[in-house]
Structure 1
């Protein structure tokens, strides 16, 4: 009986000593540094050391929208997910915030509505503007008119992806100074009488509207990065199992890799990516 009681007290002590997010730490194997993360079920963002001790935490009004980063000046850049019904899905956001070290909100920008919603990632640009990923919903009729196969409209809507560059204009406002939409770069080979008809394999710079799954969120971008030297944007397209590099000058996809089947230049055996995240 004494042994059982001793073990019970020892277990309580171990659990009591656990810190935020750390269960074990081997200092001979781990990188020296800090970890920044925002648990999906809370409104807090944590910066912890390798022992799990909290160096800093930031409160917010919103659960996270799947992206958080520390800028060079110590400002926290964080996406948020307001409790709204519009366009819910994995990685749904709607808000981006800049939060000072002391927790004060320097900027809050909302981008969501009944037919659009920012989601997943955010990227800070050298000029201080931010890039956001945005879902945009199209009706069944709009999708059919664009050349989408009716059998690929299980939800009776189709979501395209837009990338927007937002310039802060006030504490709660911003101006979209550049945008790119996948809807403007489609191709289809089913109906010559409908827009964007062409030979898919001859145009890898465009997106086949009839590839992938049959749900609304058929593309599902989940990360965005900017290359200032080349003025190009890198995105991860989760549901097509590939990455794209997009020229901001031409709007074309200048490079894509991971799944050549999506543009009819390969087979399933040549696929290299499977549901990837966070392309860099």
Structure 2
């Protein structure tokens, strides 16, 4: 790999820390040219978990805008075109406190006033990780709930602990009406106990979720751990990154809630069953190469391809993977259903066991946020590292890119 200092940053000592670390890698070459000027038209929105803040910074690391969240950051932040920020915050006394828990959603206007605030956390459920703001004004987010050991056993779950399955909720934030929902437990398969519900052959049911896929390697009920979602509104497809299954699930969002509880109906005819999945065919006893091992952020690009951050594809090394997606999809038992990998990037110094993101920039480069190191990487299509910056934030959920002329930036008065 080659690193070129395209941008000269103010925090140059921070930059050198990363550069010297990178020099230890045999595949990294560095050239320095302090005369090159940074690009002042590109801004980075950083979800700073360490300090429970959201920052808008430039290439120099200067903070241009900061939001008063008035709460502990759950995970996600979304900057809208009107300059408002939708943020996930941690609910006090949440029932489920796995990594990424939240339970509160808040919309903060550009002037820091609060537009609305919602709590979605009770003794029975807690929202977590991610929230997407849809064009119809609704929000959509994942939720943990709980089944007792006895209840889970009746569904064919093999482990001796309570189960915390995933659901997806779409809500009108102004009325707090739930307008659509999907529950993973309506779509499971198990080959553990033929006297219990959902018994069948996993390999013959690629559209179902094997509830016992990883129970032997876990000691808690968070067996799935959805940590990101993206809705393709053109095709009405919902993409979910499922960390503990190391794959991406695709749901038919065109279904009604009733259809989403079964296996018929919707544009794709499968109800709420998975219409596609990729990254780890081992989850449904299928053929094909696994390309993910833990995963964050299903970032659907304008091209229709998808970027994901694969946290642990190699030993202590992450990878960003771009998949070619071609809906409508088919899942065929015993057939390689994996999409083509059209681009990827890894480096011996790139590693975060959790968090992290990758976004495609207008210049064609990819901006990578190394979550548990607080480092930003800008990588060219050829795999050269064009910018490498150790931020002052030790833990980053994600980082998004904005241009200076975007409506959101204009609305902030910058």
What's the offset of the Cα at 1:62? 1.1
- Equivalent positions of 1:85-124 (< 5 A) are 85-124=94-133
In the other structure, the counterpart of 1:241 is 246
Q: Tell me what 2:15 maps to.
A: 24
Contact 1:33 1:50 in 2 (8 A): yes
Q: Report the CA distance shift for 1:142/1:30 in structure 2 as closer, same or farther (over 3 A).
A: farther
Q: 1:195 to 1:49 in 2, by over 3 A?
A: same
- The number of residues matched between the two structures is 253
C-alpha spacing 1:188/1:167, structure 2 compared with 1 (3 Å) = same
The answer (yes or no) to whether the contact 1:43–1:59 under 8 Å persists in 2 is no
Note the C-alpha offset of 1:18.
Answer: 5.1
User: Does 2:42 align with 1:42?
Assistant: no
Q: Which runs of 4+ in 1 moved over 6 A?
A: 25-31
> Equivalents in 2 of 1:83, 1:37: separation in Å?
24
Gaps of 5+ in 2: 1-9, 17-33, 256-270, 300-414
Match of 2:76 among 44, 48, 67: 67
State the alpha-carbon separation in 2 of the partners of residues 87 and 227 from structure 1. Answer: 29
The Cα shift of 1:115 comes to 2.4
- 1:68–1:79: 8 Å Cα contact kept in structure 2? yes
Equivalent of 1:229, from 211, 227, 234? 234
Find the counterpart in structure 1 of residue 185 from structure 2: 183
Matched residue SS, 1:278: strand
The Cα shift of 1:28 comes to 6.4
Aligned partners of 1:205, 1:168: CA distance in 2, in Å? 31
Q: Distance in 2 between matches of 1:31 and 1:138?
A: 51
Asked if residue 197 in structure 1 is aligned to residue 199 in structure 2, the reply is yes
In structure 2, what is the Cα distance between the partners aligned to 1:100 and 1:117? 25
Q: Please, what TM-score do these two structures have when normalized by structure 2?
A: 0.58
Q: Which residue of 2 aligns with 1:146?
A: 155
Secondary structure (helix, strand or coil) at the match of 2:212 reads coil
Q: In structure 2, what is the Cα distance between the partners aligned to 1:41 and 1:148? A: 36
Residue 136 of structure 2 corresponds to 127
Which is richer in helix?
1
Q: CA deviation at 1:169?
A: 2.6
Q: What residue in structure 2 maps to residue 161 of structure 1?
A: 166
Equivalent in the alignment of 2:390: none
Conserved? CA contact 2:229–2:298, under 8 Å? yes
Gap change, CA 1:28 and 1:262, over 3 Å in 2? farther
Contact 1:92–1:118 (Cα < 8 Å) also in 2: yes
Deviations 1:142-197 (A, max 9, x none): 11010011xx23xx211100010010235xxx111100010111111222332212
Cα deviation 1:17-63 (Å, max 9, x = unaligned): 759xx933986687951111232133432111211222111112211
CA contact (8 A) 2:52 2:72 kept: yes
- TM-score normalised by length of structure 1: 0.84
Q: Equivalent residue for 1:264?
A: 285
**Structure with larger RCO (C-alpha < 8 A, sep 6+):** 2
